């Protein structure tokens, strides 16, 4: 017990002293997760709304596919993208592997089906008068996008925040695609795995505390959103 308490005290000292390495890793993680969330979120919300308001065969299959992709192991996403981005892959000429861009692509692919699925569920559970009124006014599926976003903004914001929380806690794909390179692609989760493996439990614990703090703030933000937004 003394070992853990001493390590915990050392971890808090590193945080209080604003250890440069630790906070650079945190900044890298936040930046990558933010870009991935915005990139995936825009497309996922637009496509989710279009898929919900449009009539086409296979809509049920699409939702089953999104549910499957949402539960896909992250290492599987990393494996597929590794095959596409490595030098012998179809996109190898762009030299994206082991860069922040590769990690962003991986995290975006991870959270895209989550956000799209939550968007579709949100639109389906909304007051049907919203979509019906837009259709009666002659609005095409594309014309319905912005009015629906405006009315369901809190639900869609919940989807975005959920996606961000999933992205910043990602480890499998981030390790495979980023290579855990110091000063470049090392994120909180990959650094925790590395530092703990090296025996630097104090630094790993400090990063874990910061990751837990970020998760707490994300959940706090979700709880502060209106439970029943006006729609």
DSSP 178-196: HTT-TTTT--HHHHHHHHH
- Assess whether pLDDT exceeds 60 at residue 144: yes
Is it the case that residue 216 has pLDDT exceeding 90?
A: yes
Q: Does the structure show a pLDDT above 60 at 160?
A: yes
pLDDT-derived band at 230, boundaries 50, 70, 90: very low
Tokens (6 digits) for 26: 């945190």
Q: Are 174 and 190 in contact (CB under 8 A)?
A: yes
Looking at residue 125, what is its pLDDT?
A: 87
Q: How distant, in Å, are the alpha carbons of 74, 96, 182, 194, 201 from that of 15?
A: 29, 32, 19, 18, 14
Mean pLDDT over residues 106-125, rounded?
95
Q: Which of 136, 167, 139, 203 shows the shortest CA–CA distance to 32?
A: 167
CA distances from 90 to 21, 81, 82, 98 (A): 35, 10, 11, 16
Radius of gyration of the chain from its Cα atoms, rounded to whole angstroms = 20
- Can you tell me the distance from the alpha carbon of 191 to that of 185, in angstroms, rounded to the nearest whole number? 10
All structural domains of the chain with their residue ranges: 15-223
Q: Is the pLDDT of residue 32 over 90?
A: yes
| CA distances for 192 relative to 38, 115, 158, 180, angstroms | 25, 27, 28, 11
pLDDT of 97 reads 96
Give residue 225's pLDDT: 77
* Span 15-223 CATH architecture: Orthogonal Bundle (1.10)
Work out the pLDDT band at 222, boundaries 50, 70, 90: confident
Is the CB of residue 25 less than 8 Å from the CB of residue 207? yes
Give 228's pLDDT tier (boundaries 50, 70, 90): low
Contact between residue 52 and residue 141 where contact means Cβ atoms under 8 Å apart: no
CA distance 173 to 72: 11
pLDDT digits (tens, 9 = 90+) for 44-71: 999 999 999 988 888 889 999 999 999 8
Q: Which positions ≥6 away from 53 have C-beta within 8 Å?
A: 123, 131, 134, 135, 141, 144, 148
Distance of CA 126 to the CA centre of its chain: 24
Rounded to two decimals, what is the model's pTM? 0.91
């Amino acid at each position: 017990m003394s070992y853990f308490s001493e390590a915990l005290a050392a971890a808090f000292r590193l945080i209080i002293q604003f250890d440069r390495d630790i906070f650079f890793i945190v900044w890298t993680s936040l930046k990558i997760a933010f870009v991935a969330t915005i990139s995936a979120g825009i497309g996922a919300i637009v496509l989710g709304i279009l898929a919900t308001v449009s009539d086409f065969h296979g809509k049920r299959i699409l939702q089953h596919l999104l549910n499957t992709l949402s539960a896909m192991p992250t290492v599987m996403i990393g494996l597929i993208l590794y095959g596409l981005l490595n030098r012998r892959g179809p996109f190898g000429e762009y030299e994206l592997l082991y860069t922040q861009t590769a990690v962003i692509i991986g995290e975006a692919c991870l959270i895209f089906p989550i956000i799209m699925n939550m968007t579709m569920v949100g639109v389906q559970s909304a007051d049907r008068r919203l979509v019906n009124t837009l259709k009666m006014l002659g609005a095409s599926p594309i014309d319905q996008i912005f009015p629906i976003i405006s009315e369901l903004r809190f639900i869609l914001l919940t989807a975005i925040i959920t996606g961000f929380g999933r992205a910043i806690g990602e480890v499998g794909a981030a390790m495979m695609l980023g290579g855990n390179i110091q000063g470049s692609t090392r994120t909180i989760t990959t650094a925790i795995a590395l530092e703990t493996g090296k025996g630097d439990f104090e630094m790993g614990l400090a990063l874990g505390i910061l990751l837990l703090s970020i998760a707490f703030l994300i959940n706090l933000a979700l709880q502060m959103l209106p439970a029943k937004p006006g729609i």
